[in-house]
Homo-oligomer: A and B are copies of this chain.
Amino acid sequence: MSDPRVRSIDALECIEVRLEGVRPAGEAIPWVGRRRYLHAGPPLGLDELPGPMRGALLGALVFEGEAEDLDGAEALVAAGAVEVEPCHDHGCVGAMAGIVTPRMPVVVVAAAGSRRAFSPINEGLGKALRFGSNDAATLARLEWLAQAGAPTLDRAIQASEPIDLTAMIAEGLRRGDECHNRNVASSASLMGRLAPAVAEANPGSEAARVLAYGFGNRHFFLPFSIATAKLLADAAHDVDGSPIVTAMCGNGRRLGIRVSGLGRDWLTAPAPIGDARFFDGYGAGDATPTMGDSFITETAGWGAFALAAAPAIVSFIGGDVDSCRRLVDGMRRICATESGRLLIPGEGFRGTPVGIDAGLAARHGIAPVVNNGIAHRDAGIGQVGAGITRLPLEPFERAAAALAEQERAPSGSGGGRG
């Protein structure tokens, strides 16, 4: 019998993901619609939204025109007038709060067949809805993105040569990015591909504003990176018996993972805070526990799993270069393979670890580590730090146990296969 991991690894390693466009979420994602929104992490009730996710949802209701102000938005939430589901259940991944509403522009990536994945466009530095900000400046920028910035980028994508995002991530590793917490070179690279078409098709001042937004945003590339990872991870999902992890995410309360051979069930644990470097004036007491879908990069073999390619990142997240290398080496012990296309130049072009194997994690007692951003626990404040987080091991152990159980009694959960 062949290794059940093979088909998952094929998906993670071989699919080329191309950039399709930037579209309103309500057009791109079938389920998203009026008062049907997405959030980051595993499922969560409206009554248990953590501070920044609640802040983002309130801002989003105003942005959508559902409420005149934040008080009106509070009333809607209190009345249960909004439905929320996980991004992950709709081919989407959202950084931090990950609130996605119909008018929000999402990056659309595609691969052969009908595979698609989505992620809300990055708003830029400073106060941003994804960190729970919802003041007038936050909403005005989002409005500009929805009305002008994103449509301009979409037209530029349509007018430009096709962009292979998997190749761009591989090149990002050669440019000192790990494409999760460090995206600075890749952001310039992607915007550079689109810039001629942006200039060609738009009045000068409008083109200039879009270019200033993109080139001025060190995380412009992040949603392109995580949407790519989501497409790969979804393609690796639902392989009978496969212990490969296909989602890891947090909702500020619980951490959740999915494993390829275990269907759509989430295995959860309390969300950790991790080993963050806090911005001046903030500390662990200000932090929302792990929140966001961006650990999908580690799930797909980059982010913290490529940390040794991005040594300059330690000035942002702390640690030192040797600890980056050790961390990547640790991840090699729990991954099914080393990438043939994501290479770490400074390690002699050795591939990044790809394909977290829940069985290996359980056997070695090593949980994955992820890069992350830290939002303030209260709505309206924003990012207060960034760092490295070791996820709790327990969901991986439970996944391994469930797979072992399945193997013993395949007809129970495998529908008579095997």
Which residues of A are interface residues toward B (Cβ below 8 A)?
Answer: 174-177, 184-185, 188-189, 191-193, 195-202, 204-205, 207-209, 211-212, 215, 311-312, 314-315, 320-322, 345-349
What is the CB-to-nearest-CB distance from A126 to chain B, in angstroms, rounded to a whole number? 18
Q: How many copies does the complex hold?
A: 2
What is the CB-to-nearest-CB distance from A326 to chain B, in angstroms, rounded to a whole number? 14
* B192 lies within 8 A of A197 (CB): no
* B204 lies within 8 A of A346 (CB): no
| A-B complex: 3 closest residue pairs judged by Cβ atoms | A311-B345, A192-B215, A174-B312
What is the CB-to-nearest-CB distance from A363 to chain B, in angstroms, rounded to a whole number? 32
Contact of A204 among B202, B322, B349 (CB under 8 A): B202
Chain B, residue nearest A199 (CB): B207
Chain B, residue nearest A193 (CB): B215
Chain B, residue nearest A191 (CB): B192
Task: Indicate whether A211 sits within 8 Å of B189 (C-beta atoms), given known contacts A201-B204, A346-B346.
Answer: no
Complex alpha-carbon distance, A204 and B210, angstroms: 14
Could you show 26 A-B contacts with beta carbons less than 8 Å apart?
Answer: A174-B312, A175-B175, A175-B177, A175-B185, A176-B185, A185-B189, A188-B188, A191-B195, A193-B215, A195-B199, A195-B211, A195-B215, A196-B207, A196-B212, A199-B202, A199-B211, A200-B204, A200-B208, A201-B204, A202-B204, A204-B207, A312-B345, A314-B345, A315-B349, A321-B349, A322-B348
Beyond known contacts A188-B192, A196-B215: 14 more, CB 8 A cutoff: A175-B175, A175-B184, A176-B176, A176-B345, A192-B192, A193-B215, A196-B211, A196-B212, A199-B204, A199-B208, A201-B204, A311-B345, A321-B347, A321-B348
Chain B, residue nearest A344 (CB): B311
What is the CB-to-nearest-CB distance from A345 to chain B, in angstroms, rounded to a whole number? 4
Return chain B residues, CB-CB under 8 Å to A202: 199, 204
Contact of A346 among B188, B191, B321 (CB under 8 A): B321
Chain B, residue nearest A212 (CB): B196
What is the CB-to-nearest-CB distance from A122 to chain B, in angstroms, rounded to a whole number? 16
Complex alpha-carbon distance, A200 and B199, angstroms: 8
Complex alpha-carbon distance, A65 and B410, angstroms: 83
Return chain B residues, CB-CB under 8 Å to A212: 196
